Structure 1
Amino acid sequence: MGIATVAGFFAEVGDLSRYQHPRQLQKLAGLNLKENRSGKHRGKTRITKRGRPQLRALLYKVIRPLVAKNQAFKALHMYDTTRQQNPLRKQQSLIALCCRLLRIMFVLARKEVDFDMNKMMKATPLCSQILPLTA
């Protein structure tokens, strides 16, 4: 990610000390899930899109090259789309990865630590089989 991306993220989000949990940022971006339901009818589950469209677009524009170039995100995308139980479609996987990126950025900014690919991959079961961890 570049400086412009990080600056755009903080311009949309503001001070991260106002948020206690990354789910609040996910809701701010409009990436939280909502099921369309009425009575006995259960419709599709989609993202709400009730948040900031610029933040949602920024995350999506960042995740596309990450999935193409970064080995860790490529492995996560492959895992999401090819898993045995409940495989996601490609677009659903990209949105799920946007949420994961949002959580990663939240933790990196709040705790002021560097990104560790191995730590991220250990948190995802079975993904380490797709991408071998390096020492």
Structure 2
Amino acid sequence: MNCTQNKKIEQVKETTMIVGIDVGSEKHYFRAFNWRGIELTRKPIAFSNSMEGFNSFYNTIVELMQKSEL
């Protein structure tokens, strides 16, 4: 995808959640921010490298989206 920096910035809307993930071999950490860069998680949240861990990650993201009305 050949986008300029401005095109990428234009893609971020009021309903956008930005999630950063630090991937490890057994445990991962993530933080979530709204479109203005305000942190929604307050601290990094850990989840394991398993289906159960991914489901925990996914459910947390859904909860954050609902709480933040994203």
Give the TM-score, by structure 2 length: 0.38
Task: Determine which structure has the larger helix proportion and give its number.
Answer: 1
Tell which structure's C-alpha radius of gyration is larger: 1
Q: Which has the higher contact order (CA 8 A, sep 6+)?
A: 2
